[in-house]
C-alpha cells in the first residue's frame, strides 16, 4: 500500500496489479439470451507509485479498461491498461515520472526523455463506440485511444483526421434522432470552446466555436433538439499550463467571485446565449429537452457552500481527500429550468438522496424522458464507503425506487447503464447493468437488473474473484 491516509489508494480503490482473461464466470440467476455484447468500463488504476501518494487524486490514475462479455447466456471477462504515450514513457523508466493533473503533488515533475508528452493523459474516463471502433477517452488530449474490442489491446490513436489541437471531451452524446454523435473541445490559451457533430462514419459534419471569459472546469455537457448546453461553476481548470502540473501544482482552482454561467450554443447556427445562475458545479447531465420557451435539464449537481481562492480544490472535489470542512456539498439530483422568455435559471432538488453518474435511456436523449437512473447514497449504514444503491426516478409520478442488493450490508456501486430491449415500446423496457464491489469478499460483480422492476430480485449477478476499482464511465456495446 502506497498510502495509509489516501482513501483513493485503499479498499475498493486499491490499484489492480494483474490483467486477467477469464473465459467463463460464475452466474447467479440467468443472463438474458438476447444480450450479446460487452459492458466496457474504465477508470483510475495507478500503475507506478505516485510522487506523493498522500495527495494522489482519483482522477489521475492510469486508465484500465474492463470488459464483461455476454454471449448465449454466458459471461467472460478481461481487463487491460491503456498503453498511452505517458505510460509507455514510465514503463521504459520503470517508475513514475509524471505528476497527476488534478492532484497537488507538491514536488516538481521528474525530468522527461526527449519527445515525451509534457503531461500524462490516462484514457481512463469513458469507453464508446464510433464508426465501428472502440475508443477509450480522456479530456486533455486532441485524440482518443482505439482498443481491440476483444483483447482490449491498444491499437493506436483516433484523432478526427487531425481536425483539433484542443482538449476533446470524454463525454460524447448520441442524438439518435439525427444519427449524430456530439462532442466539444476546449482550450485555455486562448480560452475557447468548440462544439461539433460527427456522422456515422466518424467524420466531423459541423462545428461551431465561441470564446470563453475564463478557463472553466468542464467534464460533461448536454444537448436538446436545438442547443448544446453547458453550466460553468466556480472551479477553474488549466491542465496544460506549464507553471502548474509540471511544478507540482493542481490544474484546478476555485474562483471566489464569478457567478455560475450557462452557455447555450445553437446546434445549427452556432449563435450563443449566456445566462447567470448560482455558482454550482454540474458533475454529469442526465438529459435535456425543450418545452415551449423553456429548456429542462436534469443533472447531478455539487453545491458550493463557501468560496475562497486559497482552497485547494483537489482536496475536496469530487469527494474529500482530507478531513477538513469541504466547500462543496454532496452531489444531488436537480431539475433545472432555463426560461428563455425571461432569461432566468431556476431549479428544484429531486429526492433526499445523494446522486451521481446519472443516465437515462439514451434513445430519448434530447427529447422528453420519464425515467432516470443513477448511483446514489440512500439510508447509509455505519460502514457505507460510497454509493450504496442504484436509484430509478420517475419524473411523471415523482417517485424513486432503490436497489441495494440484498446482502445485509452495503456494497459499493458504480455508474448504471441502461440497455434497451430490442423492439421495446416502453421507455424502461430493458436492463440496468452496473459493477458493484463487495467489501466482505474484496471482489466485484456485474449485476443485471430489470429496469421496469429495479427494486426487484436481480436478473443476474456475475461474480469475479478479484475487485474492479470503482471507476468512471462506460457503455454496453452490442456485438456487430
pLDDT at residue 381 in the model: 86
* 166-223 confidence digits (pLDDT tens): 999 999 999 999 999 999 999 988 999 999 999 999 999 999 999 999 999 999 999 9
Bridge-based pairing state of the strands 26-29 and 460-463: antiparallel
By CB atoms closer than 10 A (0-12, 13-18, 19+), residue 456 is: exposed
Please check whether residue 462 is in contact with residue 27, taking contact to mean a CB–CB distance below 8 angstroms: yes
Confidence of residue 385 (pLDDT cuts 50, 70, 90): confident
Nearby residues of 310 by Cβ (< 8 Å), 6 or more positions away: none
pLDDT band at 480 (very low <50, low <70, confident <90, very high): confident
Does residue 148 register a pLDDT over 80? yes
Q: What is the pLDDT at residue 302?
A: 98
Which are the contacts of 312, defined by CB distance < 8 A and separation ≥ 6? 104, 250
- Does the structure show a pLDDT above 90 at 407? no
Rounded to whole angstroms, how far apart are CA atoms 59 and 177?
33
Query: Does the pTM exceed 0.75?
Result: yes
Instruction: Report pLDDT digits (tens) over 3-45.
Output: 999 999 999 999 999 999 999 999 999 999 999 999 999 999 9
Q: Which fold has domain 126-478?
A: Methylamine Dehydrogenase; Chain H (2.130.10)
For the cut 80, the answer to whether the pLDDT of residue 406 exceeds it is no
- Grid coordinates in use for 3? 498510502
Indicate the domain borders of the chain: 126-478
Distances (CA, A) of 401 to 246, 375, 386, 456: 46, 12, 18, 10
Report which of 478, 447, 480 is spatially closest to residue 464, judged by C-alpha positions.
447
Name the band, by pLDDT with cuts 50, 70 and 90, for residue 304: very high
Q: Rounded mean pLDDT of 229-233?
A: 98
pLDDT in tens, 82-110: 999 999 999 999 999 999 999 999 999 98
Amino acid at each position: 500500500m502506497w498510502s495509509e491516509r489516501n482513501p483513493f489508494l485503499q479498499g475498493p480503490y486499491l490499484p489492480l496489479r494483474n490483467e486477467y482473461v477469464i473465459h467463463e464466470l460464475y452466474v447467479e440467476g440467468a443472463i438474458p439470451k438476447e444480450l450479446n455484447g460487452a459492458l466496457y468500463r474504465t477508470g483510475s488504476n495507478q500503475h507506478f507509485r505516485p510522487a506523493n501518494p498522500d495527495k494522489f487524486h482519483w482522477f489521475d490514475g492510469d486508465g484500465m479498461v474492463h470488459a464483461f462479455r455476454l454471449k448465449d447466456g454466458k459471461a467472460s471477462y478481461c481487463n487491460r491498461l491503456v498503453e498511452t504515450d505517458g505510460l509507455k514513457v514510465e514503463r521504459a523508466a520503470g517508475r513514475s515520472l509524471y505528476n497527476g493533473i488534478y492532484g497537488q503533488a507538491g514536488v516538481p515533475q521528474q525530468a522527461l526523455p526527449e519527445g515525451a508528452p509534457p503531461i500524462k493523459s490516462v484514457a481512463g474516463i469513458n469507453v464508446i463506440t464510433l464508426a465501428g471502433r472502440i475508443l477509450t477517452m480522456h479530456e486533455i488530449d486532441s485524440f482518443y485511444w482505439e482498443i481491440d474490442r476483444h483483447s482490449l489491446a491498444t491499437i493506436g490513436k483516433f484523432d478526427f483526421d487531425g481536425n483539433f489541437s484542443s482538449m476533446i471531451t470524454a463525454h460524447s452524446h448520441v442524438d439518435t434522432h439525427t444519427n449524430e454523435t456530439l462532442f466539444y473541445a476546449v482550450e485555455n490559451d486562448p480560452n475557447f470552446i468548440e462544439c461539433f457533430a460527427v456522422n456515422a462514419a466518424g467524420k466531423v459534419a459541423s462545428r461551431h466555436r465561441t470564446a470563453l471569459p475564463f478557463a472553466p472546469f468542464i467534464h460533461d455537457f448536454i444537448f436538446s433538439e436545438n442547443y448544446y448546453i453547458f453550466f460553468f461553476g466556480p472551479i477553474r481548470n488549466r491542465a496544460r499550463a506549464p507553471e502548474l502540473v509540471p511544478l507540482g501544482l493542481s490544474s484546478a482552482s476555485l474562483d471566489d467571485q464569478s457567478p455560475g454561467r450557462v452557455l447555450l450554443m445553437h446546434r445549427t447556427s452556432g449563435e450563443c446565449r449566456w445566462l447567470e445562475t448560482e455558482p454550482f458545479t454540474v458533475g454529469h447531465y442526465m438529459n435535456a429537452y425543450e418545452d415551449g420557451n423553456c429548456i429542462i435539464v436534469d443533472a447531478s449537481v455539487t453545491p458550493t457552500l463557501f468560496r475562497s481562492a486559497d482552497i485547494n480544490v483537489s482536496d475536496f472535489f469530487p469527494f474529500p481527500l482530507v478531513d477538513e470542512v469541504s466547500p462543496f456539498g454532496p452531489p444531488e439530483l436537480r431539475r433545472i429550468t432555463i426560461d428563455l422568455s425571461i432569461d432566468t435559471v431556476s431549479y428544484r432538488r429531486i429526492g433526499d438522496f445523494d446522486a451521481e453518474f446519472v443516465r437515462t435511456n439514451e434513445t430519448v436523449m434530447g427529447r422528453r424522458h420519464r425515467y432516470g437512473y443513477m448511483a446514489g447514497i440512500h439510508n447509509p449504514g455505519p460502514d457505507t464507503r460510497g454509493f450504496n444503491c442504484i436509484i430509478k426516478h420517475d419524473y411523471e409520478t415523482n417517485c424513486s425506487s432503490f436497489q441495494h442488493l440484498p446482502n445485509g450490508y452495503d456494497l459499493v456501486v458504480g455508474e448504471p447503464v441502461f440497455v434497451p430491449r430490442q423492439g421495446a415500446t416502453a421507455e424502461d423496457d430493458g436492463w440496468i447493468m452496473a459493477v458493484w464491489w463487495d467489501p466482505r469478499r474484496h471482489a466485484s460483480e456485474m449485476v443485471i437488473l430489470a429496469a421496469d422492476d429495479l427494486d426487484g430480485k436481480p436478473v443476474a449477478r456475475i461474480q469475479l474473484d478479484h475487485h474492479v476499482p470503482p471507476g468512471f464511465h462506460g457503455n454496453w456495446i452490442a456485438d456487430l
